[in-house]
Amino acid sequence: MLEYLIRCHCGALSARYQTAQPIGNWNVRACQCSFCRAHDGLSISDPAGRLEFAASSPERLQRYRFGSGITEFLLCRECGVYIGARLASEYGAFGIVNARALVPIPPELPAPLPMDYGSESASDKRTRRSARWTPLTASSL
């Protein structure tokens, strides 16, 4: 497995994303919700990978929930960067990361696929995310 660093601009928030998938095979998604469009977020995940979020300055962590309220979106209060999201469900804890916060952003990153999840129920979102997102390991968040 290869490990990739995700971090906000000021370095207060970070994540370590591990995947065996080559970058060219990553499923990069551009969610069409107002939050993701406003942050220009591109989501990546690997159900066979591992993900760990961390905060060197926990006071800078902003947890944001909207819509169904089942997911925490993780942003930096200092620099404003959205690094990823996490979900705790009956199936475990899972997350995604914002590919635009990768350090460095791989030049071979595939073109994003536009996605619209607006018609999903909260239950459908939990089920989809539990199946497609990356399992969270121990985290300081």
CA gap 137, 141 in Å, rounded = 11
* pLDDT band per the 50, 70, 90 thresholds, residue 139: low
pLDDT in tens, 45-90: 999 999 999 999 999 999 999 877 888 999 999 999 999 999 987 7
**Beta-strand (E) ranges in 8-116?**
13-19, 29-31, 43-44, 50-55, 61-64, 71-76, 82-89, 92-98, 102-103, 113-115
Tokens at 40, concatenated: 């220009």
**pLDDT score at 108:** 95
Percent of the chain residues past pLDDT 90, beyond the cut: 67
> Residue 112's CB: how many other CB atoms inside 10 A?
18
What angle (nearest 5°) sits at the alpha carbon of residue 115, between those of residues 132 and 6? Answer: 60
Percent of the chain residues past pLDDT 70, beyond the cut: 98
The domain spans of the chain are 2-135
For residue 141, pLDDT beyond 70: no
59 in Cβ contact with 66 (< 8 Å): no
* pLDDT band per the 50, 70, 90 thresholds, residue 6: very high
Fold held by 2-135? 2.170.150
**pLDDT score at 140:** 57
